[in-house]
Structure 1
């Protein structure tokens, strides 16, 4: 970088923690320590199993605690991943009162209802899946209807597009033919971590005779097993979305609220590296060490940026978009919390030295 302007160097604040987000209660994930692969997945299932089962009618009243738009327009409206425009004003907004809940609808913007990220038809509307807050979100009723029970994937040719850019159309994701639904990039990681949660929480149920036969419907992404749970193409797609869209503050906030209500957590929001430890392409702990993989979240960030690496992060430097170094530190830890609340809003480059190798990541301060 040329002509770097010297700014005041601010020291990092960092802490060591047993969990990446330092949000889960102490000891919550103890039984998963040191595990990987499907053994890790089963251990996590046993930890998050047996949550408090809610009534379907009660979900709408809980959304006001966890799904307010505090991150984009900050207008306290319903944060709907199918209509939210991260970079501009939304085409419409909903309140949480009965007046904005569906009812009937004839087009986008009429009302909101409950969207099952894993379609409830595939598990025949059974409990506790039907009322699990981790996978049931408030979304526009019409867009929810257009999504139908189509699997998530990359849309090649769109037949319909929502006002925020979510699309329905022919699937271009390798390994799948047919129609799929593609949300905008801002929420792809959210959906992937919900789907991985679902595969973990319900690993014993997904092969039940009371669920739809996954081979009987091209839209059903299940592969008929309790371990991988999803078909290869779908796992690849979700892994890609998980990597491209890291954990956000919205997800962390929602995860904590759900824990207060139904008393279980999404482990892949708390510990994003566990997705690769379970479903990664042959990836295990030794692979993580050799690839110096780092999870960085939330991104965008308001105050505290979390770093999680299987290897020791020796040195960190932050540069603003003009190329000036604005912060530095030597945490010598693989669990790092960085206080960036004092930085001005904008885009920054994080430069990390890990096992003597330099890696860079971009993050947005909001």
Structure 2
């Protein structure tokens, strides 16, 4: 089989217009981040309706099996004055008539087929076929020919898109003066005739100085045409997007580029109201451009930062509190555990948190909404708190494309690849709290979307962690380690919740196992639950109807994995710290001196590093101690009247 390498041209046929519409151009790899990939169709006549047509994309890899992975319904669209229909992502200029997500057209060896058929005819994984096929293009990006895919689609040539970031290329169809059709790989020409003929278009671009403004700010939007207009160009724009509407700004949306000019500007003033609406996103988009005037870009986003965010009364994990949030567990939730030990205790605990009559599983898409609530930054209701990097990030910065810089996403504390979790097509639908699956202890697949073990995390750091075991991965350099107890309790929960999972010593390679147990037990002991973690336990319980027992009853960890294995569990043992030892420790953060109130007689105080190393001991403490330690996070264990309380202490 032959592949095109610039500047070679391959002749295909001498009956190029036997079809009403054909595939005219394809760019599956521009640039390497795939933010400007597109397919262009061309009809024999202009303004041709594509009702009844679909585009089907086939995966020629070994895993893809020459089968469909995406279908685009072309109902409701038509080609333009030049007979062109551009289907692409938002990074393509001029802006596509049919918008698709970034990075969804695979690079090859693959194919795209134009069919006169229904999307229902091509469920995902349908083998490539010539039935109802109008046109097809088999292509690659410096890959070997896929002989099987060529045969299935009745094609004889596979075409190579060998562009680079500096020199992008697309596969383009040409017809010479004799009507002979050929394909060549040259510089992309989206929504323009490949041979530079046709009616010239004049794209208009939207630009702003910044992509983020505070409520109350004023900014300009500039509109610039590629060429000077030959008569006054009047057009209308909109800024509306979900909750952002005309009540949130003032400014002129009916604009004119004067004859002989190529630009105009409007000034937008953002209303500073008192409502806590959360951060919002403006979408600047054209409403009524008419060919040959077309959008160069569109739906340009500008963030409006709401200054009316709320703050929770409890602290972040790096400034923890433990007195504001109470468990919302139902009365008697853990009563069935009393008097049990060993495997009987384990089983009884699983019976509670995996009870198929009450526990629910949500979709993986629902988890985004759960995390926006469960991991909300206590200091700013418009942000999530990021697990490993210990910082707030706007909820709007959720990763939705291949670009992960400055974004957050969903981190599996028990990695999917180690747990054997997977998702299904229905997991892509966020259908809300009242739509759920029944789940049980053997429903291991549901571990993929169990919010007790999913956290908001910096997308780049999530990638850096990968599927490393804890102990191999200890978090970013320079952080306080405030996440360590949280992740320990989340993965220990997973062992009890799902059959087939186990937390073990070391760094195993067996699916279903995660390490390192010794490390995680240390993390649990030295980073006890705080208000932030209890609040997220309450939020997740509201969705899933089960709780993480090691947040509600942290001493249970010792009875299952730690120093009390084999001992009989009684709930009263777990309530001593919170209900009987009423001691105040302040100030926190401190510059060095810590005061105590509520001590009976004298107490013993131990100071540990976040890694669990004992740093200082005070054998007879009355009212205060002086800590001669460097700035950072420490664990304070106070023992009084045979009872103890553990607190995080920050030294400034």
Pair in the same fold by TM > 0.5: yes
> What SS does the corresponding residue of 1:78 show, helix, strand or coil?
strand
TM-score by length of 2: 0.35
Alignment root-mean-square deviation, CA: 3.8
Which residue pairs with 1:24 in the alignment? 329
Task: Find out whether 1:115 has 2:115 as its counterpart.
Answer: no
Rounded to whole Å, the distance in 1 between the matches of 2:551 and 2:529 is 6
Which residue pairs with 1:36 in the alignment? 341
- CA, structure 1 residues 219+44, in 2 after alignment: closer, same or farther (shift >3 Å)? same
TM-score by length of 1: 0.60
Which residue pairs with 2:52 in the alignment? none
> What SS does the corresponding residue of 2:452 show, helix, strand or coil?
coil
Q: Kindly provide the CA deviation profile for residues 107-147 of structure 1, in whole angstroms up to 9, marking residues without a partner as x.
A: 4x2x1111111111231415211111111112121111111
Q: Kindly provide the CA deviation profile for residues 89-109 of structure 1, in whole angstroms up to 9, marking residues without a partner as x.
A: x6xx232x3x533311254x2
Which residue pairs with 2:539 in the alignment? 257
Find 1:188's aligned residue among 466, 477, 484: 484
Structure with higher strand content: 2
Question: Deviation at 1:354?
Answer: 3.4
Paired residues for 1:6-17 under 5 Å: none
Find 1:240's aligned residue among 514, 522, 532: 522
> What SS does the corresponding residue of 2:482 show, helix, strand or coil?
helix
Question: Deviation at 1:287?
Answer: 11
- CA, structure 1 residues 350+148, in 2 after alignment: closer, same or farther (shift >3 Å)? closer
Aligned residues of 1:277 and 1:283 also touching (Cα < 8 A): yes
- CA, structure 1 residues 318+42, in 2 after alignment: closer, same or farther (shift >3 Å)? same
- CA, structure 1 residues 112+22, in 2 after alignment: closer, same or farther (shift >3 Å)? closer
Rounded to whole Å, the distance in 1 between the matches of 2:554 and 2:560 is 11
- Structure 1 residue runs of 5 or longer lacking an equivalent are 1-19, 167-183, 208-213, 224-229, 289-293, 297-305, 331-346
Which residue pairs with 1:61 in the alignment? 369
Rounded to whole Å, the distance in 2 between the matches of 1:149 and 1:350 is 33
Aligned residues of 1:113 and 1:141 also touching (Cα < 8 A): yes
Rounded to whole Å, the distance in 1 between the matches of 2:582 and 2:408 is 44
Paired residues for 1:142-291 under 5 Å: 142-153=460-471, 162=476, 165=478, 184-202=480-498, 204-206=499-501, 218-219=508-509, 222=512, 234-281=516-563, 283-285=565-567
> What SS does the corresponding residue of 2:464 show, helix, strand or coil?
helix
Which residue pairs with 1:104 in the alignment? 402
Which residue pairs with 2:388 in the alignment? 82
Find 2:640's aligned residue among 338, 347, 353: 353
Which residue pairs with 1:10 in the alignment? none
Aligned residues of 1:318 and 1:348 also touching (Cα < 8 A): no
Larger Rg: 2
Rounded to whole Å, the distance in 2 between the matches of 1:282 and 1:348 is 22
> What SS does the corresponding residue of 1:256 show, helix, strand or coil?
helix
Q: How many residues get paired? A: 260
Aligned residues of 1:255 and 1:265 also touching (Cα < 8 A): yes
Rounded to whole Å, the distance in 2 between the matches of 1:56 and 1:247 is 26
Paired residues for 1:131-142 under 5 Å: 131-142=449-460
> What SS does the corresponding residue of 2:383 show, helix, strand or coil?
coil
> What SS does the corresponding residue of 2:551 show, helix, strand or coil?
helix
- CA, structure 1 residues 320+249, in 2 after alignment: closer, same or farther (shift >3 Å)? closer
Paired residues for 1:288-307 under 5 Å: 307=577
Question: Deviation at 1:205?
Answer: 3.1
Q: Kindly provide the CA deviation profile for residues 156-197 of structure 1, in whole angstroms up to 9, marking residues without a partner as x.
A: 9xxxx74x746xxxxxxxxxxxxxxxxx52110000000110
